[in-house]
Amino acid sequence: MSKSALVTGSSRGIGRGIALRLAERGYNVAINYLQDEKAACDTVNCAKAFGVNAFAVQADVSQPDQFRRMAAEAKRAFGTLDVFVANALGDLIGFMLPPMKMTLERWDEASGVQARAFLVGVQETAPILRDGGRILAISYWPGSHGGGFLPYFAMGTNKAALEAMCRYFAVALAPRHITVNAVCPGITDDSIVNHLPPELCASMLAWLRSGWGPTKRPGTPADIGGAVAALCSEDAQWITGQTIAADGGASLMNPELPLDLQRPEA
């Protein structure tokens, strides 16, 4: 029996990596995009190269009516879903303001594409998910668990909300054996990170490579796709309501200790 997945924000970056890894595992995939139809079509073609069915669907996940339409299109194309991945990020650059300067307008926009979109997404996809299906939300550990990345305030607090919602949904959907988990990528190359101001992007990547990431490299979309695919496997059916860091160990580093004390022995 073929399996199917809907991945929001999957025309580029991490979402694309997730969609292609699922396609590689034999999942039919619905590729959601907001504006870049060309990138979405390219991702569709790459997915089809694995011998699966794939199609692009334009929808703004912050608009409930558009999300409902997208879910209906997935149902028409596939009949049912096995996986729903909430990955769409929204206008990260536009949301980047520290807490004391955050406006209600920007806060509402961040919530609309994150916490509210996840609520609508789960409510719309759960009825067409097969029992034993998978729901995953893409979060970000430093934003949801820390407080030092001040410009990330609106997005980080919404990511924390996503993780909490995963726990509630995990309990609510447990009778149907649907698991609900959050995955926290670390800094990932070929992602939204590359759309940040060049000096900020370079600084973040250099920070990891200097040793604050134990593997001394950023993640890749394929790395995150692999983590999501693992949680979609039969072997992961007993993992639910969890927040899992897929960051190459970056979240293990301790900012209170000198880096020299944390370097692996040669």
- Pull the structure tokens for residue 131: 């029992």
Distance CA(189)–CA(185), nearest Å, equals 11
Query: Which residues in 87-198 belong to E strands, given as ranges?
Result: 129-138, 179-185
Ranges assigned E (strand) in the chain: 3-7, 27-33, 54-58, 81-86, 129-138, 179-185, 243-246
Is 27 one of the catalytic residues? Answer: no
What whole-number distance in Å separates Cα of residue 181 and Cα of residue 164? Answer: 10
Of 190, 192, 183, whose CA–CA distance to 240 is shortest? 183
Residue 101 a catalytic site member: no
Rg (CA), the chain: 18
CB atoms within 10 A of CB 100: 7
Phi, psi of 191 (to 5 degrees): -145, -165
Query: How many CA atoms lie within 13 Å of 26's alpha carbon, on the beta-carbon side?
Result: 5
Among candidate residues 48, 152, 168, 216, the one labeled active-site is 152
Pick the catalytic residue from 27, 159, 168, 216: 159
Cβ–Cβ < 8 Å for 222, 21:
yes
Alpha-carbon distance of 19 to 12, in angstroms, equals 10
SS3 47: helix
Residues recognised as catalytic = 152, 159
